Structure formats: structure tokens, C-alpha cells
């Protein structure tokens, strides 16, 4: 609790339980513990860019259909 805050709504507000960062156990890693494959080469963005190349390079009209999955 900050003593220099005088506003009645939050002068006694203590956020430390919410903002507390738990320390990991020694046996637990924190960063980059397992390799991940997000399959980024197959994302729709890449397919859209590939289909748009004629429009981007030559100004040609492009029509394309892509399945959308969530």
C-alpha cells in the first residue's frame, strides 16, 4: 500500500496478491523448455501472399478461394 496516495477509492488498495510473481521450483524451467512446431509454413497468410504475387508484381487482378478453419 502506497502511503502517498490520498484518493479515497484506492488509498488502501493493495494489489500485491494479484501482482505477485511466484518463484518456480528449482527443477522447473521457465523459458524455452520444449520445442514447438506451430506449422507456420502452412498458415493462411503465406498462401494469401503467394496468391497475391501477380497483383503485387504486375498489378493484375487476383481471385482465390481458401478454406478457413479455426
What is the DSSP code (8-state) at residue 43?
Answer: S
Q: What residues have CB less than 8 Å from 40, skipping those under 6 apart? A: 46
Reported as a single tens digit per residue, the pLDDT across 13-40 is 888 888 988 888 877 777 788 888 988 8
What pLDDT is stored for residue 62 in this prediction?
96
pLDDT for residue 66 is more than 90: yes
pTM of the model: 0.47
pLDDT in tens, 48-63: 999 999 999 999 999 9
The yes-or-no verdict on residue 5 having pLDDT over 80 is no
As a whole number of Å, the end-to-end CA separation of the chain is: 44
Amino acid at each position: 500500500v502506497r502511503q502517498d496516495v490520498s484518493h479515497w477509492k484506492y488509498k488502501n488498495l493493495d494489489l500485491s496478491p494479484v501482482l505477485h510473481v511466484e518463484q518456480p521450483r528449482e527443477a522447473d524451467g521457465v523459458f524455452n523448455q520444449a520445442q514447438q512446431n506451430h506449422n507456420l509454413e502452412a498458415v493462411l497468410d503465406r498462401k494469401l501472399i503467394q496468391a497475391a504475387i501477380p497483383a503485387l508484381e504486375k498489378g493484375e487482378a487476383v481471385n482465390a478461394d481458401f478454406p478457413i478453419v479455426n
